[in-house]
């Protein structure tokens, strides 16, 4: 497995690896890899000739007071996991390589970024758009792989890719979970044992939502209320948001909308804080009441 720390080296090595018209599958991450990342790498390995991983904790997507400085890192473990997934090249730039000076260009994806994490983390998706745009230009992947844990990010990146004519196919991977249902996240490492136990409430509330959503008379507002009540049952949970929106447009659904009459795919998305740790999770639903096939493309 090739490790590149500079853009010049990345370009040179990629030029050789992709020669003869090979397809390149690209998995962008912030490192501290887990099975969620591994599942994306394996998916890329199945479909593409060359698999490229990037590990870069992108300062531009962190707001003031967020966890940029303490974001977990373990390069040695990450490289071992990447290699075990059949990754061909890891791009590991330092901050100065990606941002030699403060960029004057911004990538603003409007509409889709006004709710959910875009509302709680102002400027977050501008930073994601900027770095993903830069990485797409540097790697020129045939396909890029993103996890549905960050469902809003998927909607944003798909829109940016179409709007800016990046010649990249966006492939999504389903949410990988711990045996008790907690979505894997690099940030889970911040949780105390008590918080970790309580954090199962995110996925549990979504499972309960799945059972409730097709009950006659269940409305969008009723489902949100039930999910909020379930989360508030965990002593240390502080809700950032619980929202039910159409997916992928992220348009609002009227509170009195009976869900069994809704013919479009919708998402129930959560962000919940335990102390200073903010966790997200979501589930997609279609009108049959099942979890939407969209989550497992
Ligand atoms: N549990 C998961 N299942 C599937 N994909 C995931 C999972 N967790 C992260 N990913 C995906 O991995 C990619 C890189 O994400 P990132 O490095 O931010 O990991 P993370 O665990 O989400 O970190 P964080 O704790 O910052 O949320 C993204 O496309 C993200 O959606
Ligand atoms: C896509 C990404 C690697 C951009 O920094 C990040 O937002 C993430 O890890 O999901
Ligand atoms: N997976 C999203 C990256 C972030 O939280 O900044």
Domain segments of the chain as ranges: 2-173, 186-296
Q: Is 86 left (phi over 0), alpha (psi -120 to 50) or beta?
A: left
Strand partners, 244: 268
What ligand is nearest to the CA atom of residue 37? 1
Residue closest by Cα to atom 2 of ligand 1: 36
Query: Parallel, antiparallel, or unpaired: how do β-strands 169-173 and 143-147 relate?
Result: parallel
Locate the ligand 1 atom nearest the alpha carbon of residue 175 and give its number: 3
Residue closest by Cα to atom 10 of ligand 2: 29
The Cα 268–Cα 295 span in angstroms is: 12
Three-class SS state of 275: coil
CA angle 260, 257, 285 (to 5 degrees): 45
186-296 is classed CATH 3.40.830.10: no
Q: Are 198 and 274 in contact (CB under 8 A)?
A: yes
**What pLDDT, on the 0 to 100 scale, is given for residue 295?**
38
The Cα 128–Cα 126 span in angstroms is: 6
Mutate to test the pocket of ligand 2, among 26, 31, 41, 58 (most ligand atoms within 8 A of CB): 58
Question: Does the active-site annotation cover 37?
Answer: yes
Alpha helices, DSSP H, located in the chain? 7-17, 35-47, 75-84, 95-98, 116-120, 124-139, 151-163, 193-198, 201-212, 220-232
The Cα 162–Cα 170 span in angstroms is: 10
Query: Parallel, antiparallel, or unpaired: how do β-strands 237-246 and 89-91 relate?
Result: unpaired
* Model ipTM value: 0.98
Q: What is the mean pLDDT of each run of 10 residues along the chain (297 residues)?
A: 98 98 98 98 98 98 96 98 98 98 96 97 98 98 98 98 98 98 97 98 97 93 98 98 98 97 96 98 82 41
What ligand is nearest to the CA atom of residue 160? 2
- Residue range 2-173 forms a domain whose CATH class is alpha beta
- Residue 186 annotated as lining a ligand binding site: yes
**What pLDDT, on the 0 to 100 scale, is given for residue 264?**
96
**What pLDDT, on the 0 to 100 scale, is given for residue 286?**
87
Question: Distance from the CA of 184 to the center of ligand 1, in angstroms?
Answer: 7
**What pLDDT, on the 0 to 100 scale, is given for residue 214?**
84
Question: Distance from the CA of 218 to the center of ligand 1, in angstroms?
Answer: 32
Residue closest by Cα to atom 1 of ligand 3: 150
Full-model pTM: 0.97
């Amino acid at each position: 497995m090739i490790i590149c720390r500079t853009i010049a080296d990345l370009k040179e090595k990629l030029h050789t690896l992709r020669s003869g018209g090979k397809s390149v599958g690209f998995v962008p991450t912030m490192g501290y890899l887990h099975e969620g990342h591994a599942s994306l790498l394996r998916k890329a390995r199945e479909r593409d000739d060359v698999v490229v991983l990037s590990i870069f904790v992108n300062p531009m997507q962190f707001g003031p007071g967020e966890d940029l400085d303490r974001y977990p890192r373990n390069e040695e473990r990450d490289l071992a996991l990447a290699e075990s997934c059949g990754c061909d090249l890891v791009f590991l730039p330092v901050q100065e390589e990606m941002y030699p000076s403060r960029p004057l260009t911004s990538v603003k994806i409007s509409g889709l970024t006004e709710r959910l994490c875009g509302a709680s983390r102002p400027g977050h998706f501008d930073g994601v758009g900027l770095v993903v745009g830069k990485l797409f230009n540097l790697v020129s992947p045939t396909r890029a792989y993103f996890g549905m844990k960050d469902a809003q990010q998927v909607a944003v990146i798909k829109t940016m890719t179409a709007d800016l004519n990046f010649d990249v196919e966006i492939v999504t991977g389903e949410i990988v979970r711990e045996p008790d249902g907690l979505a894997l996240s690099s940030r889970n490492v911040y949780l105390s044992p008590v918080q970790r136990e309580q954090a199962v409430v995110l996925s549990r509330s979504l499972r309960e939502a799945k059972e409730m959503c097709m009950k006659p008379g269940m409305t969008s507002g009723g489902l949100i209320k039930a999910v909020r009540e379930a989360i508030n049952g965990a002593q240390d949970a502080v809700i950032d948001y619980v929202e039910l929106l159409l997916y992928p447009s992220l348009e609002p659904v009227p509170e009195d909308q009976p869900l069994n009459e809704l013919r479009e795919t919708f998402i129930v998305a959560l962000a919940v804080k335990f102390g200073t740790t903010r966790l997200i999770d979501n589930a997609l639903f279609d009108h049959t009441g099942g979890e939407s096939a969209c989550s497992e493309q």
